[in-house]
Amino acid sequence: MKDGCFMHYLPNDTVEKEMLKKMGLSSIDDLFDDIPEGLRANGLPLPPGMSEIEVLREIDSMMKVSKGAGDMLMFLGGGFYDHFVPTVVDDAVSRSELYTSYTPYQPEMSQGILQALFEYQSMMSDLIGMDVVNTSMYDLPTAIGEAILMSKRMNHRDVFLIPEYITRDKLCVIENYTMGANIELKKVPFKNGLMDLDALNAMLGDDVSGVYIENPNILGLFDKGAMEIKEMLDKKQVLVVGINPMTMAIATPPGEYGVDIVVGDVQPLGIHMSYGGPSVGIFGTTMKNVRKMPGRIIGATKDVEGRRAFAMTLSTREQHIRRERATSNICTNEALTSIMAAAYLAALGKNGFKDLGTQLASRGRYLANLVNELEGFTAPVYPGHFFNEFPVKVDVDVCKLLNACEEKGALAGIDVSAEIDSLENTFTIATTEMHTHMDYEKLIQVLKDAREVVM
């Protein structure tokens, strides 16, 4: 300000001089004195400015180079899957009162939003077999991190056991969560594609807060040892299970075998892949531990006139009355994507959801058999149950193989060898209801031709 007026009317160099004078500095360089010389950049290599029409042309040319699931064969999984999203789902969440709603953690949220989130919680609770589900975490990695923190609140122990086979994106988020809480992470070895229960049992000391397992795991395999693991733990230790919610169409819900906390990602349930987000982190627990869980819970009640109403029954965020005793610093939630998941489940119904799950499991086995018949390929690599994603081992360099597949028009799978040092030339293939028999035939031919190129 100068003489009560904004200074934007002044020439740029005059504005700069006035700003530096007010700050007691002699030059712009003085602003960066605290930054070591070796870390400073001599400007940014930005291109010259363009008009709006030039920017649109540039972006359009860039987008034409990008290829997605609709442009080429796509068999990627690893947490994000190309499922069909019924039109009614997009139509429901395109209503302006839903997609323009203010960040929904305020007590004065509309009854419509509250009811929609209540329906999401109810459906998800029924799906995973837990007493209560919050609304919600950002995604699966943050849900795992919050589960580990909650485990420490439950038993005040400082060691948490996680799988040796876990993706880097999850691991880096978990490490960030546990670092400030002084929680030590220890990795449990794998054996034949699953967590080694003997090794786990040897690691279960009195300082262990809990154990995290994934069903299915990074290789797409179900760990049937979950029930055994629960029996290994003492009364205070916590079992956290990460799930793909789509598998709940045919798999036993974790709540039925005594799990303390269930986490997951709702992306398979009607959420478009959209370059990897946004999504929703599932977080469910037992009523016994509800006061220790993060996030917020929407409950059904009655208003002063006796009418059915909805309200935030529990909100453990630091901005609310708990303040420094808050169990979470989650500042928003993925309300719109939660409602998308609820709309998706409602559109399919219980029978439709079960039929889809049966179809996906059948497709996974069918495709695994086709791949296994190819020379140089073994699928699945390990014995055991899987859903729509399975591990494949090949006798050539897997990175070169997948690159060759992409050049031939197919994203054939994810190189899990790059994630796990102890795995060699192993990748995972995922299939969904979006694939046709012709797609399977094309994939088999691409894999065969790519292997010959790499050899």
- Tokens matching residue 336: 């719109």
d(CA 321, CA 311): 16
Residue 318's domain comprises 100-345
Identify whether residues 338 and 366 lie together within a single domain. Answer: no
Both 388 and 244 in one domain: the answer is no
Looking at the structure, do residues 356 and 270 belong to the same domain, yes or no? no
Q: Is there a contact between 255 and 129 (Cβ–Cβ < 8 Å)?
A: yes
> CB-based contacts of 381: which residues, under 8 Å, 6+ apart?
193, 219, 391, 392, 393, 426
Within this chain, do residues 290 and 194 fall inside the same structural domain, yes or no?
Answer: yes
Say whether 263 sits in a helix, a strand or coil: strand
Same domain, 355 and 284: no
Do 227 and 120 lie in a common domain? yes
How many residues does the structure list for the chain? 455
Residue 174: CB partners within 8 Å, gap ≥ 6?
141, 144, 145, 148, 162, 185
Same structural domain, 274 and 129: yes
Q: Residue 396 is part of a domain; what is its CATH number?
A: 3.90.1150.10
Contact 266, 337 (CB under 8 A): yes
One domain, residues 366 and 399: yes
pLDDT tens, residue order, the chain (455 aa): 444 444 444 456 777 888 888 888 888 888 888 888 888 887 788 888 889 999 999 999 988 887 777 788 999 999 999 999 999 999 988 888 777 655 555 555 678 888 889 999 999 999 999 999 998 889 999 999 999 999 999 999 999 999 999 999 999 999 999 998 999 999 999 999 999 999 999 999 999 999 999 999 999 999 877 888 989 999 999 999 999 999 999 999 999 988 999 999 999 999 999 878 789 999 999 999 998 988 888 899 998 899 999 888 877 654 555 566 677 766 566 888 999 999 999 999 999 999 999 999 999 999 999 999 999 999 999 988 999 999 999 999 999 999 999 999 999 999 999 988 888 999 999 999 999 999 999 999 999 999 999 98
Count up the domains in the chain and report the number.
3
- Which of 307, 326, 345 lies at the terminal end of a domain, its last residue? 345
* pTM of the model as a whole: 0.86
266 within some domain: yes
Residues 271 and 156 grouped into a single domain:
yes
Note whether 360 and 343 are within 8 A (CB). no
For residue 52, CA distances in Å to 46, 47, 58, 341 come to 17, 14, 10, 37
Q: Do 267 and 153 share a structural domain?
A: yes
Give backbone dihedrals phi and psi of 210, rounded to 5 degrees, phi first: -175, -175
Say how far apart CA 443 and CA 439 lie, in whole Å.
6
**Are residue 191 and residue 316 in the same domain, yes or no?**
yes
Does 53 fall in a domain?
Answer: no
Residue 274 lies in a domain: yes
Query: Is 321 strand, coil or helix?
Result: coil
